[in-house]
Structure 1
Amino acid sequence: MKSISGKPVVLMMVDSPRRDLRWRIYMAANLSKYGITSIIGQRDYILPTHDNSKKAIWLGRFISNNGKVPGDKLLFETFKRNKTPVFFIHDEGGFHIKKYYNNTITERIHPIDIMKEDFIKKVYVWGEEQKKILLDKARKELKEKITISGSPKFEILENAEVGDEKWILACTPFKVCNPGSQGIKPFSERAIDLAKDDTAGSMNEAHWHHLRYWKKTTDEFSEFIEMIDQLSTKLPNENIVIRPHPDENADYYKGLFSHRKNIEINSSGDAFYLIRNSKAVIHTESTTGLEALLCGKKTINFRPLGEHDYVMLGLETAGTSAGNINEVLTCLQDEHPSKDISNNKYINLNTNSLEKITDDLVSFINKNKVKSRCLIQNPEAEAPKEFDTKGKNYPYSIKEIETYLNEANQKLNTAATIEQQGFNHVIIKQKTIAREQIE
């Protein structure tokens, strides 16, 4: 093992690399301007690194979605023991079910009892609505902590270069009824536990809520599949790419559409490449729909059930709504079918979230004279055979990391470089300039 000491270190644990790795690297590049080293990685790398650290800064969420599994309790004890300041931002911060939106924010996404802890230095929320809900519950304790940050994930998509229009992209968000190997199984103990947070009620109410949500999602799932199958036959010369949610079972779609020559299933890497090179994006109240809008793509929100208590607030307006195959075809022919989402109260798209979070971290580091110490595990270049690549995890590739970092350096005018990389992590720091280069 080697160590990093005498300089500030930020730890970023990535739950889903397919969803969050790219923006984390942008954040690391931006932090590098101030001499801050970032260690980005999956749970099996970040947790042992944090165990062997002192005064390293934690940027992100906890181990679980709601911060309430046994591993989270151990993590909180380590925060206290290792004097870890936490800057909390949740990767699912803004868009949730209408019926239980307030409970989801205060019990699952930003559990108030945890947000009150002294080790929590900042609580980042995506939009005005979450801030209002949290302050209504705990204004005294959270007023100085809460900041509306938007989400770096969406910010870096704005003004993205438009690629070739190669395919129609269909993004599926049906993890509830089509879970992958790492997804939460419907009606499992964990699924009911999360439903209990949403309802803030009895176990019976949690079961009933989960059943209704599962039924709604299953109905949309079957309608979506039928729509894609019809689209394939009505537009035989168009290539259709299905992008499953990272927690979905992609093999299900491969088997289902194996007879359709113009349908491809692609669950590899970040969805940005697929969005950028699409003619249009079809989704069902999914964050990829918002990403498509920010990339300037024709965006169709397939909502066969229309308005109901289980819509995803903030995403129901992401694109032009279509309820059946004929409406989808009409939207595809329309030159401007997408809607403006700039006034979305569930996410502020007008903040410079990378700079806002960076400024907060730099201010905290300077004020508290933060000097971290971390013992760094030696990298493993290849993932072990038992590493599950069918779910949301996958081995980080050198090419992918370098692509993201070069992109970030160019857009942010930074000079970040890779200090170390393994299949499950990357360490990014400011590039050292040789004396002869300066002179």
Structure 2
Amino acid sequence: MFYKKIIFLECDLGGRDAKIYLTLSKFLENKISHAKVYLISRINIKFFITNFKNSIFILTPQKINRYKTHKSNLFYILETEGFLNKELYHLTYQRKNLQNIKKIFVWNNLTKKNLVTEYKVSKENVSVIGPFRLVYLSILKKNINKFTVGVLCRNVGLSNFKNISKIKFIYDYIQLEKKNKVLGLKEHWSFQEIIENNIKSVENIIKILDYYNDKKININIRPHPNENFKDYIFLENKYTNVKIDRSENFYDWIENVDIVFTPSSSTNIDLILSNIPLIDLKGNYKKETFLNLHKQLSHKVDFNNIKLTIKDLKKIRASKNNKLFDQFKKKYLNNCNIDFSHMVESLKKESSNLPSQHYWKLIIYDFYNNFRYLLACLYKREKIDFNYNFSYVFKKYSINQKLLNKFNTVKFKFY
């Protein structure tokens, strides 16, 4: 009963994507006989890579060769987002780390083409599966309670996850610039631009909150995953109509907002596919991949003279029927086509050559983390997350049956 082929799947952004990746884990377990698919994160990955042999690891593209591993382990890459800009590849893929990868699963043919031509990866080793993460949007149900204005933040230069020193933030970017010069690469971001644009964005958020403070409009602010939501909590005390979103799942937030003030970001795609109108928050990075799309599809506001009443906000409609978006959907989103067949076939084949093993270590690891979590909650009287432990008991992470039903069809179009 406890002897299975063990496959580890790395979840991209912890809480935000846990439900999607847990569902993907269940889907793969259903398709691959005698397999145990276990979800891990980039924070606790070291424990599993160093303590398990004869296992398959399906990892995000970033820093594949992170830790020493046993030669009996097999590695795959599952892309978390597609790419449109060649300058971004070096931030994610590293040529030297792609040599021992069995297969790379990507979002679109453009990524495949660039990996083959620029990174000399064999065609047979790259499979297009489509933007699987976005399939969740097709099963969302909008909350029809009070009209709610969403504010999407990306102020990572001002508020950092776990309160990383801002001095260290600048130091890290300077080191990255030096490294890229040696490699002959252009730096995609500069810390000066990030901080300058973050300040502009925060100024506009404050102007929004001041304007709508006495207008009985609910405002729900969603910090970026790399921000510390506690930095925003004081706003709930300053403004009675403001709520800081603490939900683990980003898509729970999408279900509860009707229109969103947002800078240019990849999450704009989630909003557009969810038929949610965008208002440009400004503070956009000049080299942002989605900037042109954002400019075309977002409503513009003069933040020095905001005049949008609740009636005006309700009249704004999402602009998704647009030539630029159609091109984008085709290139970046694989025309919203999903195909898991190559992924399933490859994992079936490779796992059949691995020995089954007792997964008691995983059971003990779960028990240990859940016990620590419970003690911390009792001692601190607040919920504390330990290394993104995907606990069904305390964090309420679970699979989504509707999403699983979609995945089980293997090949489908979701939009």
TM band (smaller chain)? 0.7 to 0.9
CA distance 1:331–1:173, change in 2 (3 Å): farther
Q: Does 1:249 align with 2:228?
A: yes
Secondary structure of the 1:83 match is coil
Aligned counterpart, 1:396: 391
Amino acid at match of 1:17: G
Q: Does 1:88 align with 2:60?
A: no
Structure 2 Cα separation of the partners of residues 225 and 359 of structure 1: 52
Q: 2:112 aligns with which of 131, 139, 155?
A: 131
Aligned counterpart, 2:22: 25
Structure 2 Cα separation of the partners of residues 409 and 199 of structure 1: 45
How many residues were matched structurally?
A: 386
Displacement, 1:264?
A: 0.5
Are 2:18 and 2:397, in contact at CA under 8 Å, matched by a contact in 1?
no
Aligned counterpart, 2:287: 309
State the TM-score, normalized to the length of structure 1.
0.74
1:271-282 residue pairs with structure 2 within 5 A? 271-282=250-261
Amino acid at match of 1:51: T
Amino acid at match of 1:53: F
Q: 1:298 aligns with which of 246, 257, 276?
A: 276
Displacement, 1:90?
A: 3.8
Structure 2 Cα separation of the partners of residues 215 and 225 of structure 1: 16
Aligned counterpart, 1:169: 150
Structure 2 Cα separation of the partners of residues 58 and 343 of structure 1: 34
Are 1:40 and 1:46, in contact at CA under 8 Å, matched by a contact in 2?
no
Are 1:104 and 1:199, in contact at CA under 8 Å, matched by a contact in 2?
no
Structure 2 Cα separation of the partners of residues 89 and 350 of structure 1: 17
Amino acid at match of 2:287: D
Displacement, 1:320?
A: 2.4
Secondary structure of the 1:49 match is helix
Amino acid at match of 1:304: K
Aligned counterpart, 1:421: none
More helix by share: 2
**1:286-314 superposed Cα distances (whole Å, 9 cap, x missing partner):** 333322233x3323041536793345458
Structure 2 Cα separation of the partners of residues 356 and 216 of structure 1: 42
Secondary structure of the 2:233 match is helix
CA distance 1:264–1:211, change in 2 (3 Å): same
Q: Does 1:267 align with 2:246?
A: yes
Are 2:23 and 2:399, in contact at CA under 8 Å, matched by a contact in 1?
yes
Moved more, 51-60 or 320-329: 320-329
Secondary structure of the 2:19 match is helix
Are 1:53 and 1:375, in contact at CA under 8 Å, matched by a contact in 2?
no
Secondary structure of the 2:258 match is strand
Q: 1:376 aligns with which of 358, 361, 367?
A: 361
Q: Percent identity, please.
A: 18
Structure 2 Cα separation of the partners of residues 45 and 308 of structure 1: 34
Displacement, 1:181?
A: 1.0
Aligned counterpart, 2:298: 320
Amino acid at match of 2:247: S
Aligned counterpart, 1:365: 351
CA distance 1:47–1:342, change in 2 (3 Å): farther
Moved more, 350-359 or 245-254: 350-359
Higher relative contact order (CA 8 A, sep 6+): 1
Displacement, 1:180?
A: 2.7
Aligned counterpart, 1:437: none
Are 1:282 and 1:289, in contact at CA under 8 Å, matched by a contact in 2?
no
Secondary structure of the 1:242 match is strand
State the TM-score, normalized to the length of structure 2.
0.77
Aligned-residue CA RMSD (Å): 3.8
Amino acid at match of 2:74: P
Amino acid at match of 1:376: K
Aligned counterpart, 2:92: 109
Aligned counterpart, 1:51: 50
